[in-house]
Amino acid sequence: MIMTQTLTENLSPIEKKAIKAASASHPKGLYVLFFAELWERFSYYGMRALLILYMTKELLFGDEKAYGIYGAYGALVYGAPLVGGYLADRYLGNRRAIYLGGFIIALGHFTLALPIQSALYYGIAFIIVGTGFFKANVASLVGQLYEKGDPRRDSGFTLFYMGINLGGFLAPLACGFVGETFGWHYGFALAGFGMLLGILVLFWGRDIIKDVGFSPIGKKLDKPVFLGLSLFKITIILGILAAPLVALMVDHNHVLKHFVTIFGVGTLAMILYFIYVSEKEERKCLLTILVMLPFYMIFWACFEQAGGSMNLFAERNVDKMLFGWELKTSWFQSLNPFFIVTCAPLFTLLWDYITKKRGRDLLTSTKFALGLAQAGLGFGCLLIAIKTSTPEGYTAMIWLVLAYLLHSTGELCISPVGLSMVSKLSPARFASFMMGSVYLCISFGHYIAAFIARFFCECSEKDITTDKIASLDVFYRIYETLFYFPLGAAVLALIIGYFTKGIFRRHP
């Protein structure tokens, strides 16, 4: 962007330098990570679009069991990056962790492609372990491409987020069509090939990324430390061996609440320790992150109904006929990433325009509040859909589309902004761990999302898989809860933001 003399004459030299940086193009490394994450998300969303449909239609699991497995998968797949981020900070470095994670994720998808029921749990487990190494470290690398105080950071993360959702848009269309038409296992295999493409993109662009992401212990990572094995090889072996334990947790997902509690308390203790050993300004930044993260969790508890209850709602109660042709249920999972891809450039321009007009960006807390409010309004659309359903129990498709639109615009207000917040407020020595804590909030969100859906299913005395009116009643109670919950959180975020605005303004 170009600022006129009228707008810049009263700015300090530091502010003028920041504005000049904002007008420059983004680092080339951003586009390498953009395409790498695109294909990783292709694999994730391709599998996600099929998972609960595969369990309820092919394996004939009940809704409660399917929600439990899906919730356990979501909770663990977003909790694992906390471990992966810590290992990368201390030993592996971001690059090694990303390569390792990508290969294990691909192994998971190809395991799911095996036509045996036990492959479900092991395939999910490999994806969880691999995502632990991959996810937080890619986002951390994006943050490292920008200097401290670079105003392009938020818009850079928004562009990165568009890459995530471009992959998410293509995956349900491709994997959903293949899975629902030719067989579920072929759809899972296609998701695996998507992950392999992501690894190839990273390898091709390894020299384009800046000199960041290497192991903090250098060559020590490859020196033998036990039985002739290097620390990196030991990490690979332990990662593979962790899969059976994770598979057991997914299968016996009723014990997940204990894992979530222990992991959450441990993470909180680590963050409090970081706060204790940090300098005064760093301490304020970490406390601000800690206060804002619960709002991130609340948003994802609402948003992650998409792959669970909203997917089954589309399957059972939405009239999917369009111009005489019935749409695939899994294709509705492309709505969110489609809206992200189309709206992300607009939001990038919006944040940049606001920064240009006001001389500073909107507070992170304000963006969080906007995101939460839109999540609640999205469920309001679904409540209208159910209230206006036909006597046979079918609802108009437009309300589901509007719900996904509002959830998507809400996501753009909170998700990339949250990643950016953590990357700019976290001290460098804790950066990947703190980025992992963001994904742990999404993990908690998955768990809460599954808990809410299971709770109302268990309260129903009717067979909601065949009785469409009973199904609508259960969905209404789920979405009514999720209508009020985020709206209240949005008000609280604005209040807290008022008291923390000084921190955000000192760390643009």
The residue type of 470 is A
- Calculate Rg over the CA atoms of the chain: 22
pLDDT at residue number 4: 33
Average pLDDT score over residue span 382-387:
95
**CA dist 472 to 201, 318, 361, 388, 435, Å?**
44, 10, 42, 11, 38
Binned at pLDDT 50, 70 and 90, residue 91 comes out as confident
Convert 166-192 to b/e letters by CB count within 10 Å (16 or more is b): bbbbbbbbbbbebbbeeebbebbbbbb
Average pLDDT score over residue span 350-362:
74
Give the domain 26-506 fold: Growth Hormone; Chain: A; (1.20.1250)
Binned at pLDDT 50, 70 and 90, residue 267 comes out as confident
SS3 395: strand
**Residues 383, 476: Cα–Cα separation, whole Å:** 6
Average pLDDT score over residue span 403-408:
95
Give which of 232, 229, 235 is closest to 221, Cα–Cα.
232
Euclidean distance between the first and the last CA atom of the chain, given in angstroms as a whole number: 17
Binned at pLDDT 50, 70 and 90, residue 360 comes out as low
More confident residue, 121 or 352: 121
Q: From start to end of 29-133, where are the E strands?
A: none
Averaging pLDDT over each range in 59-68, 257-266, 351-360, 493-502, which range is the top one? 59-68
Average pLDDT score over residue span 363-381:
92
pLDDT tens-digit map of 176-230: 899 988 988 999 999 889 888 888 888 888 778 767 767 777 787 878 878 888 8
pLDDT tens-digit map of 126-163: 999 998 888 778 877 887 787 777 777 767 777 787 77
Q: The whole model's pTM is what?
A: 0.77
Binned at pLDDT 50, 70 and 90, residue 255 comes out as confident
Mean pLDDT over the full length of the chain: 83
Binned at pLDDT 50, 70 and 90, residue 5 comes out as very low
